[in-house]
Structure 1
Amino acid sequence: MKDLGAEELTGREGVQLFRLLNLYLEQEQRFQPREKGLSLIEAASENENTLCPRLRNVKVEDLRSLANFFGSRTETFVLAVNILDRFLALMKVKPKHLSCIGVCCFLLAARIIEEECNIPSTHDVIRISQCKCTASDIKRMEKIISEKLHYDLEATTALNFLHLYHTIVLRHTSERKEVLSLDKLEAQLKACNCRLTFSKAKPSVLALCLLNLEVETLKSIELLEIILLVQKHSKINDADFSYWRELVSKCLAEYSSPECCKPDHKKLVWIVSRRTAQNLHNSYYSVPELPTIPEGGCFEESQSEDSGEDMSCGEESLSSSPPSDRECTFFFDFKVAQALCFQS
């Protein structure tokens, strides 16, 4: 087999792909959650006033279930997680407000990614997620999130890199195109997104680790050579690559185990009786009142781990009741779905 060089990859139609890769590489740091804020969440213990890694991970699982329920694209889920992590790494958020924030991140991402006809209504998302917020609460929280992120919501994510790397590899290989499944790689990325740890990885590194592990299972020397050249072009050093590759490998091994509950990728249709539907409709209007959520405290680089104020969203109260441990979990889980739903 002929050895591949950088010129081989960047020649012909590959030039445009590598220009796009250079653009992504320039942008990725701008959309990374603050490492200081993520570290504070990682170090947090579980209590009613502190956001800990488990609660964040449960909320991302909820977002994945929500995206599957509404048939949203993978891009919507990944962007929602990016918006969520950037906000959580910037603001000190109490667990009782996490449900409202998660719904807002999903809606913000859907409006950016989805076609207008596929964007779920705020009322539908509130009812299905059972977040116990009103539409006005969601609107105010969306404004807070957008302002804190300077309205810079459309991010360069690991999914962008994964799609681009996948295209580059397929454009420059002589092997069968179907051997490298993009659907499988996307599912693996979503599994990594459900763990706070991978929010600290550079999107370019995380995507390349996923691709590398998949190519290794195919035992293709040609594909591995292409990935090596992409790694070199992306200036990903071997130490970082090995570190994250090991963590990704461990995550995927656990994810593929029989003990791990994985949602189906097909859109779900919810079948309920008329009485149940009426009860859900009524419960939407009986929303308990909550005092104002604080907004002032940010995770600044100069802050100590125990400094900062709570997050507040203004003069009106946020109608969201403090959740118990179970209330942090999306009520429509996929075990219950087997009894309530059929797959379309």
Structure 2
Amino acid sequence: MLFAQSESPSENTDPVAHEFLACGSHTYIMNEAGKVVWEYPHNTRDGYVLENGNLLLTMTKSKRFPGGAVVEVTRDGDETVIWQGTQAEVNSVQPTADGTYVLTEAGPKPRLLEVDRSGNIKVEFPLECQLANHHMQTRMARKLADGTYVVPHLLDFAVFHYSADGTLLGKLDTTVSGDDDHAIHTWPFTAIRHGEAHTLVNCTHGNRVVDFDANGKIVWQLTNDDLPGPWLQDPCGAQVLPNGNYVITSYAGGNKDKDAPKLFEVTPEKKVVWTHRDGHPYGIHHFQIVTTNGKRLPGLPLK
């Protein structure tokens, strides 16, 4: 498999290089030199590179896992199944500092689960999302430091905030009012709590990234008007880096517009400092930036 090397804009005097995990129809790790150093022959939806070097992956539903799954895989390909889905699909997984795993199941009874390595359920509650379209119920659910959970619900057009017992604590509305006062619905995919209780949200349908403050007000927004071209094409995954920059993946990036990158990094001032293009028709569903300029990023990634 041939990949084009990731690149930094030529005007950048301090070039940026990242090693990253890519999840999607092709699952792989690309090093800072633009070389694929690990591949996994299965379709994945979410994933983490663990401190021990193993990969924690959310498996797309398949003949082997009709309801999806969460597995841990060594670099040699040995697998441990942590959770096998019981409904339509498993949407995401997050390792916690307590050694547990947060995941969601979509289906007729959508739910959030927190399980231990043996699959024992520690937390379980139903999700208050629409039931008509299972695939569009939810995506990247994450546990916060205070023990609560943020869960994007795509066709409910909001990021829901749940307590540990499933009580709905609030919502971040991703609906935008158009010039004609009709609602434009944008689908939240990734919601990242960062900084002073801000929440960065990637909205796939609508092609924008927004940052809500602690009061639920949008205080920052990135659209294609801010970029060199139409680079936001179904922006799915995102990550907030320790330096405050944002890395974004556009699932359809590079498919029709070959100049559009699959991944790019922008500063809060909306300056592009790194891009990744590979020339392939398949996209990156989610990802993790693992290293920057030779140094592993500390702690659990904000993604």
Q: Report the TM-score, using the length of structure 2 for normalisation.
A: 0.28
Considering fraction of residues, name the structure with more helix.
1
Q: Which has the higher contact order (CA 8 A, sep 6+)?
A: 1
Q: Report the TM-score, using the length of structure 1 for normalisation.
A: 0.26
Structure having the higher Rg: 1
